[in-house]
Amino acid sequence: MFTFLKAQAASIVASAADFLVTIIAVELFGCWYLAATIIGTISGGVVHFSLGRTWVFNAIDKNIPTQALKYFMVWNGSLALNASGVFLLTHYAEVNYVFSKAVTSILVGFFYNYIIQKRYVFK
């Protein structure tokens, strides 16, 4: 249970970086919300990998390139799920991109990221 709580805390920190980059890209630089979502997701992924490896799963004794490759493969699925969810909710449900991103991030985090990272990436 403690690992799950640490994983959620790491996800919150990574999501904060993700959201900050996304919102700055849209609001300050005028990026399209979907491009900004991808840029934000990349930023959050870097933060999340670092926290997952060092703090959540305490896997610093494992091979970094192997972990990074596994994380990258899982992260690509996460990126696709996040971008698709944000697009569908924003474009078809006509809700604000920040709300779409929040809902999608929570669902992907609970039902995809944590499970696969625990059982595959950082095991």
- Tens of pLDDT, residues 82-102: 999 999 999 999 999 999 989
pLDDT digits (tens, 9 = 90+) for 43-82: 999 999 999 999 999 888 888 999 999 999 998 998 899 9
pTM: 0.77
What is the number of domains present in the chain?
A: 1
Q: Which amino acid is at 123?
A: K
d(CA 36, CA 50): 22
d(CA 112, CA 24): 26
**What's the domain range around 113?**
2-121
